[in-house]
A and B are shown apart, each in its own frame.
Chain A
Amino acid sequence: MTEVLPSAESDSGTAPRASSNIRHLCRMEIAGGGQIVIDGKYAYIGHQHRPQGTTILDISDPRKPKILSTLTPNHPWSHSHKARVVGDLMVVNSEYERGPGQHGEYPDGGFRIYDVKDRSNPKLVTFVKTHGKGVHRFDLDENYAYISTEVEGFVGNILVIYDIRTPSKPLEVSRWWMDGQNVAGGDEPHLRRAEHRLHHAMRCGSEMYAGCWMSGISIIDVSDISRPRTMSRYEYDPPCPEPTHTFLKVQHRIGGKQIAVSTEEERSHRGADAGKPHAPLRTWDVSDSTKPKLLYSYYLPESATPYPADKVRFGTHQLREQVDEDNLLYVTWFAGGLRIVDISRGDS
């Protein structure tokens, strides 16, 4: 089923605009952010482009966020656009960013762990080198880092789980991948090559929910952390134009069902897919995690943005990685801004 969300007002220009129930408190002119996480009174931003890396802010006063410290990537070819925090540990990625530099000679792919007890002076604990382009997104808890990275012998990113309980010595615990990625292990390479890859996986209880780029979604059982096991795979047929970015399980039941949500990532250059539907938000019934069922796909009409939607990047990207009992989901839509959707009202 498909729902079309309502439009924005039709005026144009570059002023911020919002529905009447939104108040804009502050705009901070800061380098673009690939990821933001907040823990208490601190915010951590992974910047999209080198030479900026990570900025740590004191957000006690939401009208005057204060920069406490900044980090820059450790190599001129790297960007470090993701950051997560657990307690006094911050983990950031290191990934080859397109531009000058040779992908094949890139030495800095991996992730870094910092001690941020003093937020004004993060201290490097360790660098874990992975392979190739390095690390993209990841999930994190007190025990493990769930890393999406290139790995020698595989085509495209796979999931590598590290035990970080001794932060100075992370230990690889296990790997998960899709059929067609383990070329060194004898897999026939997938027709989509590296487009057939993990984007990243989010843990919920003993399961991980994985956005798998041009290859749909996966649910992975990690009840035995040393042996991740595929519970289900779902591929769109026909394939959808935009790649799957995030797949997230909602912790509580809604209407008696176990629900998950997903976003695709509207690409900047759509090529032959120009004119096809823009990246939507989707909801899923995952009451049976071996058989995820697509419920609703939420599209925004091009009139929902005052910008020329067919010429700029207009579609979903990421969502707030938590859904509270109010069932509100916060979804970033590139030129469509931030949209707040009640996912319990899919057919309203």
Chain B
Amino acid sequence: MNRPYVIPKPGDGVAAPLTNDVFKDDRGLLWVTDKERGLDVIEYRGDS
């Protein structure tokens, strides 16, 4: 099984990402915040 994950890039000058919070919108897109810097928008396409 391909266990889904994403590790966003860290904010500039930060040693590692600090993936902090996530919210799924009505379209199924994932909005992921980093504690120090950055917002990533992710689409999970399911197991295929």
Contacts and interface: CB of A to CB of B under 8 A. Distances in A.
Interface string A28-53: 11111111111010010100100000
B19 A36 contact: no
A32 B34 contact: yes
Nearest to B40: A27
B7 A5 contact: no
Contacts of A322: 24
Interface residues of B, number: 44
B33 A33 contact: yes
Interface string A104-121: 000000000000000000
Interface residues of A, number: 63
Contact of A318 (B10, B11, B22, B47): B22
A20 B31 contact: no
Interface string A285-321: 0000000000000000000111110011110011110
Contact of A63 (B9, B34, B41, B44): B41
Interface string A76-118: 0000000000000000000000000000000000000000000
Given A19-B6, A43-B23, A330-B24, A30 B39 contact: yes
Contacts of A304: 5
B36 to A, nearest CB: 4
A14 interface: yes
B39 A22 contact: no
A35 B22 CA distance: 8
Contacts of A333: 19
Contact of B44 (A335, A337, A340): A340
A28 B11 CA distance: 10
A32 B6 contact: no
8 closest A-B pairs by beta carbon, nearest first, are: A33-B33, A337-B7, A307-B16, A312-B16, A18-B6, A340-B4, A335-B16, A26-B41
30 contacts: A8-B5, A8-B7, A19-B4, A21-B47, A22-B43, A24-B6, A24-B42, A26-B41, A32-B35, A33-B33, A35-B33, A36-B23, A43-B23, A48-B20, A48-B35, A48-B36, A65-B41, A305-B16, A313-B16, A313-B18, A319-B22, A330-B22, A331-B22, A332-B19, A334-B16, A336-B5, A337-B7, A337-B8, A337-B19, A338-B30
